[in-house]
Structure 1
């Protein structure tokens, strides 16, 4: 049985929840390369909740979902990004991004144990919206390839933070904490959906 080190868990939580609100899809601040790509998902609460939720749900589902979901998300996100770069329209992108937090949060809060292929389809569907939103911004970036690499790395960090939170289920009270985190994620996604966050 793996033992969770409180200091490491605390650091992961601090990094995850210390992010400040950012206007994620205005196109502003997307003029840099690797660093701005890396910080973009970490400083945007809409990304933080969805990407942490992917790792958290994967950890809750256990093997092999703990690694499959955090791999599916950036791969499909890259596809959505390519659609955005190509100018292929996808309706209701911002709504899809907000719904990702709502739906994933509810799945975690209700402790839904979906088959791995269903979980991958759900995660992949939401990843298209996240990727498309940023694909439409990439052509204006000074170095779009570096930005994309930074964005994927930032996404991975958030997935790992979710996985770290998921290890709370190993503790006697951990399942309740994980489900409570799902409620918070769903509530924040609902706030984005209602336009109040």
Structure 2
């Protein structure tokens, strides 16, 4: 197949796919697949998790591994608590606040100490993890579900770090990265009022 046909064919295939079956609890899913798709299908989760990577990439050095690790670790812990039925107040407002606060950190080019950034992202990870844990379908395995959403989250953090590194490599000014943070804030506000 020639390249001129392959690209439109791939786009058409993507547009005609049935993503509804990828939603948690719909169609034939496994614990891993359900867990993996949960963060990816929530725009609030995607924004916050990519923002963690952007902010970590902006600060650099140890923050690039410590902040994503803190987020994933606390998220898994909160996911287990959610699965066990342990309540956590203000989960949805906490998730929306994470998008806005992390976007602001990027927009303001906040260079927090590594320990403080880990505390901030870890705190917000509690809300994301609890939401994942309480929404686990009864028909899937818990451990596989945890592994799935932890891996998806790590990948989203990696996308944020890669965006940050890519922006630096192509020589685009730091203003572009800060503008991305501003867009995250705007999207968070839109989700909060929408």
For the aligned residues, what is the CA RMSD?
A: 2.1
Deviation at 1:86, TM superposition (A): 2.2
Q: Quick check: which has more Rg, 1 or 2?
A: 2
Whole-angstrom CA distance in 2 between matches of 1:95 and 1:141:
28
Name the counterpart of 2:93. 95
Name the counterpart of 1:44. 42
Q: Is the 8 A contact 1:141 1:147 kept in 2?
A: no
- TM-score using structure 2 length: 0.82
Deviation at 1:190, TM superposition (A): 1.2
- TM-score using structure 1 length: 0.80
* SS of equivalent to 1:161: helix
> Which residues of 2 match residues 142-181 of structure 1 at below 5 A?
142-167=140-165, 168-181=167-180
Name the counterpart of 2:12. none
Q: Is the 8 A contact 2:52 2:157 kept in 1?
A: yes
Q: Is the 8 A contact 2:38 2:132 kept in 1?
A: no
Deviation at 1:115, TM superposition (A): 0.8
* SS of equivalent to 1:87: coil
Distance 1:45 1:156, change over 3 A: same
Whole-angstrom CA distance in 2 between matches of 1:29 and 1:128:
26
Distance 1:33 1:182, change over 3 A: same
Structure 2's unaligned 5+ residue stretches are 1-18
Deviation at 1:171, TM superposition (A): 4.1
* SS of equivalent to 1:89: coil
Distance 1:184 1:141, change over 3 A: farther
- Alignment deviations for residues 72-93 of structure 1 (CA, whole Å, 9 cap, x no partner): 1110001111221222211110
Deviation at 1:173, TM superposition (A): 2.4
Structure 1's unaligned 5+ residue stretches are 1-21
* SS of equivalent to 2:85: coil
Q: Is the 8 A contact 1:79 1:131 kept in 2?
A: yes
Moved beyond 6 Å, runs of 4+: none
Name the counterpart of 1:183. 182
| Equivalent pairs, count | 172
